Amino acid sequence: MSQPTTLPSGHTRIDSAEMRGIVKRFPGVLANDHVNFEVRAGEIHALLGENGAGKSTLMKILYGLYQPDEGQIFINGEEVHFHSPADALARGIGMIHQHFMLVQTLTVAENVALGMKTPHGLLELDGVKKRLRELSEIYGLKIDPDAYIWQLSVGEQQRVEIVKALYRGGALIILDEPTAVLTPQEVDELFVTLKQMREQGHALIFISHKLHEVQDLSDRITVMRDGRVVDTVPNDGIEQRTLARMMVGRDVQLQPDRPEVERGPVRLRVRDLVVNNDQDLPALRGISLDVHAGEIVGIAGVSGNGQRELAETIAGLREAVSGEIELDGKSILHASVAERLRAGLAFIPEERMRHGTIGVFSVAENMILQNHGDPPFARSVFFDFGAIARHTGELIRRFNIKTPSQETPVKNLSGGNIQKLILARELSRQPVVLIAAQPTRGVDISATEYIRHTLMQQRNEGVAILLISEDLDEILALSDRIVVLYEGQIMGVVDREDADVEMLGLMMAGARQQA
């Protein structure tokens, strides 16, 4: 680790921040169990852990959003007590959240200045703009202080969040899943910025579930599991499988085997599909694609480029303006959701709590949502509760769903187990076409492993799968062919063997595939 240089003026230097014996309890949950954690000036310290491991709770304590039940926080060896984020900011600690905290209708400068105390209540935007240009020059951040947020790309908006933290004197900055919505090129640019911040003497905490990013960027890695620190290790040639084993407690295989499968007939055909978004603006602009039996076609793209509208239109949740959708050679463009299900379509929705389950319903009730009126679950107007219980019990065992009971409300399950429930229900109908939209978003590494292996198994058994994911690693791990969407248009279609991250990243940014 190189010796950090002096921080720019306006920053309170933090040589070290240390958390000792941190305990945080919620009703029925011990989120942090005597956790020790330290970050130093001039380093990028990665924090790894599955959902529920306690890493977010720990960082919210450091940022003043939560107060610990036990334990101490030290800044430069001095014990501090944070009762709010304002207290943490006053000591030079900033946090960049996964979902940006920006007002779309304000300029960059106005967003940076928003909420800050000013002399006599007057805001001098000219001074704000001057300081932003200075910080942009120091850190190599290309930002126009007069640009409106709605005019900026996702990557540019993230730069605004970073420069906002720097403007407010952030010497220690927490980054929560900062690459989740970026193209590969934007990730590269972000990493250049973070490394520059490290050289300037900042202390950075990098929260990510992407193991290769942690390897590429960090100096040290702390792994948490079940509310405790498993270990803190230097990033000195440590392998991904070792980190995964530390996170989960066993070996993990995130890239399932992809055996050669003879591609069957076209099961799903989309032709010249035009669809509007919720604002009645064009979301899909005449796209065409085929999905064959025994293949996974991955849809790659940065969020908001028509992926959600494509999935919802095929599933029957959104009307098309024009075009055609065929399942096994028959049009389903005007078919109801129930008719599409009977025709052999299955759907794992992007928003599992909104479109995939009913949270207040039990596990058993959610398992039969689509066919509760059919035998063997119903006889005339009466439910056969025995048949429902046997069906639910079998799926819980087959798909390794962790639930206290069949009667537990689904809202009480973890994200990974809710996703497994949806997967179990959809696959129990033995579909011919499966639409999987963001199937592993927000789930931990164990559930991700299970879901990816299950999708590959379905592909091997002849199901036609349309995989929509913003996780490029997932697209590359599972797909046979990759379709790249940008602003509702197809930039290119490539075979998995011919794809690389740079090529896909360029298409995700709007460059059409070269002939």
Structural domains present in the chain? 16-248 (3.40.50.300), 266-508 (3.40.50.300)
Q: What is the value of pTM for the model shown?
A: 0.72
DSSP 272-324: EEEEE-TTSSEEEEEEEEEEETT-EEEEE--TTSSHHHHHHHHHTSS--SEEE
User: Is residue 144 classed as helix, strand or coil in its secondary structure?
Assistant: coil
Among 295, 296, 292, 299, which Cα is nearest to 313's?
299
CA distances (Å), origin 178, targets 207, 293, 417, 513: 8, 36, 25, 28
Who contacts 379 (Cβ-Cβ below 8 Å, separation ≥6)?
none
Q: Which two tokens stand for residue 201?
A: 């003497």
The pLDDT of residue 176: 85
The pLDDT of residue 10: 55
**What pairs with residue 45 in β-bridges?**
205, 220
> 49: number of CA atoms within 13 Å, CB side?
26
Region of residue 222 (phi > 0: left; psi between -120 and 50: alpha; otherwise: beta)? beta
The pLDDT of residue 4: 46
The pLDDT of residue 373: 66
Q: Which stretches of 99-237 are assigned E, i.e. beta strand?
A: 172-176, 203-207, 220-225, 228-234
Instruction: Give 379's DSSP letter.
Output: E
The pLDDT of residue 295: 97
The pLDDT of residue 85: 92
**What pairs with residue 290 in β-bridges?**
269
Please list the rounded mean pLDDT of every run of 10 residues in the chain (515 residues).
51 87 90 96 93 86 96 96 93 85 91 75 78 87 89 84 88 86 78 91 90 91 94 92 90 87 96 94 96 97 90 96 97 95 93 86 89 73 84 90 89 85 92 94 82 95 95 92 96 94 91 79
The pLDDT of residue 6: 56
Largest CA-CA distance found in the chain, in angstroms, rounded: 77
**What pairs with residue 190 in β-bridges?**
none
Distance CA 113, CA 440 (A): 37
Q: Are 106 and 114 within 8 A, CB to CB?
A: yes
Region of residue 239 (phi > 0: left; psi between -120 and 50: alpha; otherwise: beta)? beta
Instruction: Name the helix (H) or strand (E) containing 88.
Output: helix 85-90
Q: Count the helices and strands in the chain (H runs, E runs).
A: 16, 22
